[in-house]
A and B are shown apart, each in its own frame.
Chain A
């Protein structure tokens, strides 16, 4: 075959496969949205699920997913920032640093089901926290933390060296440089990364089945006292998230419209992930613009 023909064929194949991936995504999203969107309504998003009658919603599950995500981020972000900054700015290259990096790598590639089982063993049974939001949040922390560490570390590494050196030249302490010079520059990347990882947390199910439980007690949305058992804010109640709910009604749903509810809930989940993705881009750009603009002004 002539090189030129081979080149053309190869290029065509590459383009074909690349477009195939785009087609797969469009097909996937289209399928989920077409099947699910007409089931999504105000009522569906806000009402409680029904056990055997049609017309149940996913209100508590949606709330649980969001609340669990917030709890997880509250635990993960400070810890991830700390460890990430340490890795980027403080750790000296050597065996220990290498080891820590290995740990981060291993932890981030652990199967979520193993993380869930570990949560079941340690948090649910040994610490006796039971199936609860806290258990779920801790389990999610286990595999979101390494991601956070990596995001932070990479964000700090992309900051131009000169900025740091300028700080040192001004006689600033290391801590001041990290918090006042490097952190603002790294922030947009960190925020983008965090939101993207939040999308993954939002859709996680395997780890939560064993930790946050598969039941959602009826919640009283007028009761905002976190220590009351029916309060939606109580972190020690079991909570079924949207992803777990899809799994459950797909398998055990007795309601006659279980299939539609699963389709609707899937669509909600995918739309939320879309929102997370768009938000990540949007905020990243917004903050970057703000920070760079404010710098020019001063």
Chain B
């Protein structure tokens, strides 16, 4: 009894202290970061003051969780130079972003895929009203469990694996180990990109394949499951998984930029009609070299401005 009472008191006390600290300490922290931010911003003031000295208003963006970290980070920087602008960035998925921007519930809809691919048939009209802003590129690499014993796969081999024709790693030059596919759900933008540009064909789901929507879980599974194969955006790659070459081409930033490695897709920020002044200033800011070579690269995306090739909705690639 005695013991329990002290235990209760101790817990209650710590919680109270933690709560009060939550308020105070964070205030301090934030003030500090704010100062740092303004200093940093002051150094590049010349680029911004011309475009956004007296902008005021708010921007609401929602959609792709893959693009969310970038937009959030850039939004914070933008708000530091433009004190009267408030930008809120929300997730929800590409579909949610496109729905909400088409319904004018948000100013910007973030998406991993072209709006035309999601808004089809009856909704095709809605897609026409949307204006595309391609802010970054995400490349996707096929990855396997480190012990699979393969370091390059051809397009045909990948197709065979993901359609279930090949079920053992030894058939593609690896160890005698059953292949376990870690796929994405069919609604996923990442899967659409991988199927469109790596496999060149849509695949049916296979009995027994594992499907996860989130890159973190996919990486964890591939790293833990013997014989696993899947695909991840370049920013998620590390030593826990083995990155596979595609037709002998290393999935590297340079190869994507030059157009040698084909498995990539744009990250889109859609506006409904032409953007208004504030939204335009924000989108322009994302395309400035400062952001494109700074935040975009830091967060693991490939700058859209540096791409030497471009691609349209139909998937046709042209040299710039």
Residues of A in contact with B (beta carbons under 8 Å apart):
42, 45-48, 51-52, 59-60, 62-63, 66, 125, 128, 130-131, 213-215, 217-222, 229-230, 237-238, 249-254, 258, 271-272, 274-275, 278-279, 282
Contacts and interface: CB of A to CB of B under 8 A. Distances in A.
A251 B232 CA distance: 13
Interface string B6-33: 0110011001001101111111011100
Contact of A48 (B23, B29, B100, B236): B29
Contacts of B196: none
Given A214-B65, A271-B11, 18 more contacts: A45-B21, A45-B22, A51-B299, A62-B22, A63-B23, A66-B19, A125-B100, A128-B105, A213-B91, A217-B88, A217-B89, A238-B88, A238-B90, A251-B215, A275-B12, A275-B15, A278-B8, A282-B8
Interface string B88-120: 111110000000100101100000000000000
B29 A47 contact: yes
B30 A215 contact: no
B176 interface: no
Contacts of B24: 221
27 contacts: A42-B21, A42-B25, A46-B21, A51-B72, A52-B69, A59-B22, A66-B19, A130-B90, A131-B62, A131-B90, A215-B68, A217-B88, A218-B76, A219-B26, A220-B34, A229-B58, A238-B88, A249-B216, A250-B214, A250-B217, A252-B66, A252-B214, A254-B216, A254-B236, A278-B7, A278-B11, A279-B12
A276 to B, nearest CB: 10
A86 B88 CA distance: 42
A99 B314 CA distance: 56
Interface residues of B, number: 49
Contacts of B300: 52, 254
Given A46-B25, A215-B89, A279-B12, A130 B69 contact: no
Contacts of B65: 214, 252
A19 to B, nearest CB: 21
A87 B102 CA distance: 45
A74 B34 CA distance: 33
Contacts of B72: 51, 215, 217
A189 to B, nearest CB: 20
Contacts of A272: 15
Report the 5 A-B pairs with minimum CB-CB distance, sorted nearest first: A251-B214, A221-B26, A221-B27, A214-B91, A229-B86
Nearest to B5: A282
